[in-house]
Chain A
Amino acid sequence: MLWIPDVDQKPFSISFDDGKTFGLTVFKRGPLTEKLFELNLGDRVGITGPFGTSYSIKPDYHYYMVAGGYGAAPLGNLAERINGAKIDFIVGARSHDLLLFEDRLKKIPNLNLHITTDDGSAGTKGRVTDVLEKLLENQNDDKRILVTCGPELMQTAVLALANKYDTKCEVSVERHMKCGFGVCGQCVVDDLGICTCMDGPVMSRTIANQIFELGKYHRDKTGNIIKF
């Protein structure tokens, strides 16, 4: 969690980690992130954590990584940390200028980069899941795993493909978080009643399939239901 005193504190994924330093990838959105963009080199922020689960590291598997938006951050970090695994990395954005980490990802050995944009300004025009399905149809490997992070509806589409092709899968379930350590109950999902801050955000296909609300609704700060 990243804290700016008097402003707010919110969860962020670790985007880069070399054991000595780590980095976050932050989209400018509201009060906290706007304030963050105003800070200068050397200014301090509060950091707590890390909290929750992370993606499995299985170097003998073929990874299909599907990223949208800042989802490229944790998956970029994962791709750099898995030594030797074969990776197909599918990254989608609305347009070329919003695409993250193109150069960073190209440097990773054994990584095949597939780009999609909504407007066709880079890579294939269309959706990441179209590219994913083609790969799954045409490649025949016995040990494969889909990992995804990004907008929830994109992730539920990836989960549906994992179910269709009976493939291992890990999704990242983001809910509004207050404490980050399993006390406030703000981030609990229906009907399992487990916390996405501790038992997530990364969840297996088996668990994700039992989360009734996935792709349907989430909750605001009051605990009230908001439909996607």
Chain B
Amino acid sequence: MLNTTFLNKQFKNPIVLASGILGVTGAGLANIIKIGAGGVTTKSISLEPREGHKNPVMMGNDHFFLNAVGLSNPGIENALPEIAKLRSLTDAPIIGSIFAGTAEEFGVVAEKICTGPIDFLEVDISCPNVGAEFGRPFAYSTEAVETITKIVKTKSTVPVIMKLSPNAWNIAEIAKAAESAGADAITAINTAAGMMIDIESRQPVLSNKVGGVSGPALFPIALKCVYDIYKAVKIPIIGTGGITTGRDGIAMIMAGATLLGVGSAMYYNKGTCFSKITAEMEEFMKAENITSLEEIRGTAH
């Protein structure tokens, strides 16, 4: 019922783990498949190892989740054995996620990660938490997005997915730029810039002071972004942001998403978060006599 084909690859269900949540090790990612996701995205990987920011790097409450991990990762050379390990533990589709400080470096990391057993390459041009370090996130500029997409396309041996930011005021334009530069799909969205203050200590909670908002508060924002992008492009979309229930997932499909990225739900519902969403989606589909997700994709338009 939930079987989904995305860029010619079969997913047992449309839920993919979003980048950066439990994505540090191959074994950790394989466990995510075991507990119900249809596919996984690795944590975003860079050329060199990065320690990330000091703690606290994240916090959550009933309404939102907030993080500024600072893109910690072991660097591409050390990440490749983890991806190989992941492949040895699961047959499910693997999305490798990368980021870099310049367009050229995106090309280098793309080439290297494609030597590993990934099925798709997701390009994170939209992390709001390292802006000062890398200059303005690339995701705000159609020119930057075009340049990076073109370079990564020439180096990649697998389909390329560009991950966009809701902080860009013109996300549909950006998606169009990515499509015309050759992107095979879009992931929308990354986190929205935000912060939280601890009122006892009178200071920001995150060591980075500002971070990215995800979780339930992000859902209506993500839904509108996906809705707008679906209107603007023909390539498929991984709808990501605040999905914690089956109803959220169905709405995201109706906005036009093909796959559903799920991350912060892990905070809200722990190990049952994926099976809960798929069970609730199936329940809704049965009640409404919907036999495949194809039937309802984009029907909100």
Interface residues of chain A, those whose CB is within 8 Å of chain B, are 1, 3, 5-10, 44, 46, 178-179, 181-186, 188-195, 198, 219-225
Contacts and interface: CB of A to CB of B under 8 A. Distances in A.
A224 B21 contact: no
B75 interface: yes
Contacts, number: 116
B201 A46 contact: yes
A10 B19 CA distance: 24
11 contacts: A10-B55, A44-B201, A183-B21, A184-B58, A185-B28, A188-B22, A188-B25, A188-B28, A195-B22, A219-B24, A222-B78
A131 to B, nearest CB: 35
A178 B69 contact: yes
Interface in B26-80: 27-32, 34, 43, 49-52, 54-58, 60, 65, 69, 72-75, 78-79
Contacts of B91: none
B25 A193 contact: yes
Contacts of A225: 78
Given A183-B267, A198-B270, A3 B55 contact: yes
A178 B27 contact: no
A213 B69 CA distance: 25
B55 A182 contact: no
A216 B89 CA distance: 20
B21 A185 contact: yes
Using C-beta atoms within 8 Å of the partner chain, give the interface range for chain B.
Answer: 35 or more
Nearest to B214: A183
Given A181-B60, A185-B43, A195-B22, 10 more contacts: A3-B55, A3-B56, A5-B203, A8-B207, A10-B55, A183-B266, A184-B69, A185-B22, A192-B27, A222-B52
Contacts of A5: 198, 201, 203
Interface string B254-297: 00000000001011001000000000000000000000000000
A178 B55 contact: yes
B133 interface: no
Consensus secondary structure, chain A interface: loop
Interface of B: 21-25, 27-32, 34, 43, 49-52, 54-58, 60, 65, 69, 72-75, 78-79, 82, 85, 89, 198, 200-201, 203, 207, 264, 266-267, 270
Contacts of A7: 54
A182 B271 CA distance: 9
A6 B198 CA distance: 12
A178 B58 contact: yes
A224 B78 contact: yes
Contacts of B23: 185
A6 B203 contact: yes
A28 B28 CA distance: 32
A189 B23 CA distance: 12
Nearest to B52: A221
Contact of B25 (A1, A182, A221, A223): A223
**Nearest 9 pairs of A and B residues by beta carbon:** A193-B31, A185-B22, A188-B28, A9-B55, A193-B27, A185-B24, A224-B74, A222-B49, A221-B51
Contact of B267 (A10, A182, A221): A182
Nearest to A3: B56
A193 B82 CA distance: 12
B201 A223 contact: no
